[in-house]
């Protein structure tokens, strides 16, 4: 087994960072430190926990000028977008703000002579296994509410974004968080599975592939730990005939191609009502052709390389299969290095697609989208629900009531209207089918990071 993890940058294929894998002894020490620290942390007031979490946020934001190019080197997102500080700040401040109310005991006062209430008790040690695609946002979704709820946190970040875990650790250290309450460790897959099966972790949150989620469930089998799993997605959009067309085109192009399409809730398939289909497709293609693909460190670059070569090659395979089956490609940008075996990949828009093609059924997680014409809501609903995934779906219309009615029939975790690819921290982030289970953010997110404990106290008689 290799004793280090190497981070290969998609910019030029070089080794950007290398870190030693923790020894089994170090892993055991980290878990013991977390368990000991959590006991005192659980007795710390919510107000004080919030103060420390906000101090860590300030420390993280102060590093942003260094973090932005690090993200580009690690996973390829262009520096022009400024990192993830806006979303990290919004989610952190919201979850800290609602903590007192969300974690307040549920009191029953209808029986004289008794004191009855339910407390939200921390689970203990929470492990966060974070992905590379939005390395700060996906991690903060669980780290902050887990800490606010009184848990200790162990973070294992993706090999592709090794430095992110270190940045979190630096921020919490600078904030003065008690030692052991938050730890970042570098683990192999085998060590991760062993730790999850040890019974010493009380909750794991994993964001990644369906196969990865199944591996997590298998590793945790029999431990009775709780799980939060955000897995694959194939998020649809439905453009209705009363749409604000310019708004829909601009937002759906961004929703499909931002971050080189490597978004958990990115738009991967679009269904457009026949009355607006031609105009929508023309506008969508024209805007997509404006992307500048290149080195993410260059200010003019609007789309960087995909994080790894194999991800880009998967998209190439989906496109080739679709074309063999009769689809039409419309963008055909000439991009330097866009060849098999390269992470650099031009965005593509396909029409003439159907659900016999993998590009409309399997997660692409890259800069490609298929657009289909539909006759009515029923056809759009059938196609949107014809998927093993269900993270988000977006509806593009001026009729809010109609959108809500359609939304009731979509098998998904979040229904959007006239927006997409966004997490609102006030609403639970969840999915259905093979997208996973559990939920992050909102008061419900706190419920998933605590356990209920009932008190039934009969007063003196």
CATH number for the domain including 76? 3.40.605.10
What is the residue-averaged pLDDT of the chain?
A: 97
CATH number, domain at 248?
A: 3.40.309.10
Q: List all residues 6 or more positions away from 206 whose beta carbon is below 8 Å from its beta carbon.
A: 129, 212, 213, 216, 227, 228, 229, 230
Whose tokens are 């982030």? That residue is: 429
Q: How confident is the model at residue 461 (pLDDT cuts 50, 70, 90)?
A: confident
d(CA 167, CA 409): 42
Q: Check whether residue 94 and residue 219 sit in a common domain.
A: yes
Q: Check whether residue 100 and residue 113 sit in a common domain.
A: yes
pLDDT above 80: residue 363: yes
Neighbours of 281 (CB within 10 A): 19
d(CA 276, CA 296): 35
Provide the whole-model pTM: 0.97
Q: Check whether residue 369 and residue 444 sit in a common domain.
A: no
Domain count, the chain: 2
pLDDT tens string 367-408: 999 999 999 999 999 999 999 999 999 999 999 999 999 999
Q: Check whether residue 159 and residue 277 sit in a common domain.
A: no
Q: How far is CA 370 from CA 79, 219, 235, 358, 391, in A?
A: 28, 36, 12, 10, 18
pLDDT at position 1: 52
Which range marks the domain in which residue 84 is found?
4-231+435-458
Q: Check whether residue 337 and residue 440 sit in a common domain.
A: no
**Burial class of residue 72 (count of CB atoms within 10 Å of its CB; 0-12, 13-18, 19+):** buried
pLDDT above 70: residue 174: yes
Token readout for 208 is 């990644």
Q: Check whether residue 104 and residue 171 sit in a common domain.
A: yes
Active site residues: 230
Domain annotation covers residue 424: no
């Amino acid at each position: 087994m290799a004793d280090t993890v190497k981070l290969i940058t998609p910019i030029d294929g070089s080794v950007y960072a290398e870190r030693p894998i923790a020894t089994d002894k170090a892993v055991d020490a980290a878990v013991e430190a977390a368990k000991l620290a959590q006991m005192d942390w659980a007795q710390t007031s919510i107000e004080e926990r919030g103060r420390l979490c906000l101090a860590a946020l300030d420390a993280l934001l102060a590093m942003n000028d260094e973090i932005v190019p690090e993200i580009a080197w690690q996973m390829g997102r262009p520096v022009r977008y400024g990192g993830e500080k806006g979303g990290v700040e919004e989610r952190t401040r919201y979850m800290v703000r609602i903590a007192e109310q969300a974690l307040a005991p549920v009191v029953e006062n209808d029986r004289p002579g008794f004191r009855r209430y339910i407390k939200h008790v921390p689970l203990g040690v929470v492990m966060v296994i974070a992905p590379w695609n939005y390395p700060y946002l996906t991690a903060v979704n669980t780290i902050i509410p887990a800490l606010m709820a009184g848990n200790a946190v162990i973070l294992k970040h993706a090999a592709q974004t090794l430095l992110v875990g270190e940045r979190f650790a630096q921020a919490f250290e600078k904030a003065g968080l008690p030692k052991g309450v938050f730890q970042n460790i570098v683990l192999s897959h085998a060590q991760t599975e062993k730790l999850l099966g040890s019974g010493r972790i009380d909750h794991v949150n994993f964001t990644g592939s369906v196969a990865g989620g199944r591996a997590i469930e298998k590793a945790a089998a029999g431990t009775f730990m709780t799980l939060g799993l955000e897995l694959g997605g194939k998020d649809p959009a439905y453009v209705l005939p009363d749409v604000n067309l310019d708004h829909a085109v601009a937002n759906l192009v961004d929703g499909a191609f931002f971050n080189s399409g490597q978004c958990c809730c990115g738009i991967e398939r679009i269904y457009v009502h026949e009355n607006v289909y031609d105009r929508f497709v023309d506008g969508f293609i024209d805007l997509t052709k404006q992307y500048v693909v290149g080195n993410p460190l260059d200010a003019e670059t609007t789309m960087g390389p995909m994080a790894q070569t194999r991800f880009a090659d998967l998209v190439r395979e989906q496109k080739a299969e679709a074309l063999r089956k009769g689809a039409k490609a419309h963008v055909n940008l000439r991009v330097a290095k866009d060849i098999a075996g390269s992470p650099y990949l031009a965005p593509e828009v396909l029409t003439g697609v159907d659900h016999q093609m993998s590009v409309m059924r399997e997660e692409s997680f890259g800069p490609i989208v298929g657009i289909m014409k539909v006759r009515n809501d029923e056809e759009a609903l059938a196609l949107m629900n014809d998927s093993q995934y269900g993270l988000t779906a977006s509806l593009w219309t001026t009729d809010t009531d109609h959108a809500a009615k359609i939304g009731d029939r979509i098998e998904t975790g979040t229904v959007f209207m006239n927006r997409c690819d966004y997490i609102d921290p006030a609403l639970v982030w969840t999915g259905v089918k093979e997208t996973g289970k559990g939920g992050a953010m909102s008061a419900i997110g706190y419920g998933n990071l605590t356990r209920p404990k009932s008190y039934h106290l009969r007063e003196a008689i």
